[in-house]
Structure 1
């Protein structure tokens, strides 16, 4: 936009200069002619000068109106104007050499008024004639030497005009090339700005999508967290209260009531912890092996099923996310065994092996068809899907092996970076 404005201003200034310069040169020539009245001694010559000056003024005024009507660019009217101005300028120069300034007006606008380079060049040659005449005004032109000097002046003026015209033409071409380059840069900058705007809009869209995806992931994680903690704890409370309601012996009822109270308190602690940092409360003070041992023992007491915890390999410190994931998988597997397996024996094994840690939960319960679609396995579906999602969330995998009447085995394998051994059990 700025380049277009600059080019328009330059064109307006050029047009104004070409329109006004004949008036200025004619005025300068007239003032110098008055100051050098001795160059036109006779009254007839002076009268001719006045008539020609008036004719030049009338010609300039008429051309100004014609140019305003026809617009810029060479044509028949411009050629006629150029020729008439040259004739008047040459005649004035012959009468008084100082009028060569007016005759030189054609050197500035030959390219604007005469069509084609050849005609413009002929116009410049014609302008050089009154210039050379003015420069040789002291010669009598009575012999060959004077004409030879005049011819030399004519050639010198043409050479000078050619060099100056070539320089101006090069400058004009460079100016046009620079303007084209600037225009191309502006187009490129516009396209670049458009691309930047599109990238900014795309980035904003991606940020929104990432935020929505994060919210969805957090919702799924919270759903699994509630399912693995509060929901399981409440299920245990309900089971213990159902036993209390059916128990004829107050002492036995009291035992189950205490268990229900303990489960309720544990679930309350999990709920408070979930609000605080969503890390398993059992890992608040213990490492994963000890937390698993405590969880298995508590489950065995509550479910009335023989359960054992086994630790193999060299214990190493795990990232908090891996420890929490494995503990949640174990809790879900134990909850599924309590609700669906009807097992008499269960084993939990935590193994540290090379570059991975493995959690295995096996029972001798009724089992199910592991190849059946989710929701038809008799396990509730969400528990297995939740365990699998948790394992994948830390870069691990979950495998489930089971068959009707053959028990169930849940195995979670999670890779981890090697670290120094930590002998905590």
Structure 2
């Protein structure tokens, strides 16, 4: 029995209805090729897909950095875009005419992801694009290709209006496809939204700070008014009653040695009442009122709560500038104390207030024609640190303390009109402005 060699059955094509339709490989892999180059193309496609996913992950991590400030947010956004397309330079800019609340207006990322300032060296085409973008003159309908760079321009839009752009300079070897452009558009659009969110966050923080400050001022003002009422209703009335009793005793002791001492006590009592009224006025006064600058406060001081025997004149020199409210209040109190000393202790009939604004300081000087001795007052100031001063000198020590709290100095000298001049020199705060 002869045996025939084993042979494979002939190959037959499968029925037409069972065949895979053309293009099935492209549908499964995303690569339109069945040749030997299929695997490298498939690997490249997978790598690009992973790059896109990685870019989206960086976008999500970038856009949640709102609380770190707009500058850090924008810098991270532009750096993410530059890393995605291997850009040597990247620029994000908003036109000056739009979104005035957004800060910063631009960010530039250079080689190595380093943030650049406008003073740093950079290619002329980057500087030119920045100027045109800020001016709102940059076009986005076409992209330039300047060797060795591929210049990408992605418009930044708000409600269909172009408000700025994301510009990148990537190497020519870096292929840019529609997916990359979509990633960059997402970055550009979401950056503006993130800037808005950051602005709202900062605005909310400022509103909370202002609300807290307003509540603190309300508590302080309430306490000041309470103290003013207590002084008016109790202390002032008690001092007035004491003055009346002194006056009755002085009338009965007329012509004796005790009468002279009672006269002094009467004058001191009257002076205490005047000072209490001045304190009550200061406590009741709203120091934060925008209508009451330091010159206005001093003008009020010359006309209220001062002895009738003292004629006061106010002179303003230089260009007035706003001072912090605390500084104006302290200088107001220094002036009131100096005038009180002139009237009660110096027995002056005339006082001159000079408020002089200079380039870096403000000088408040109170001069009188009284009987005060500058040498004695200066000596009292030198020993004020460790001694219990009498009423005539305690006010002087308080004025010196207030001046030092403001970073200034207090001086005492002979005035040109014959009495004492007390002057306080306070440096102006940098930038000025009412606190």
- Normalized per residue, the structure richer in strand is 2
Fold agreement, TM-score > 0.5: no
- TM-score bucket (shorter structure): 0.3 to 0.5
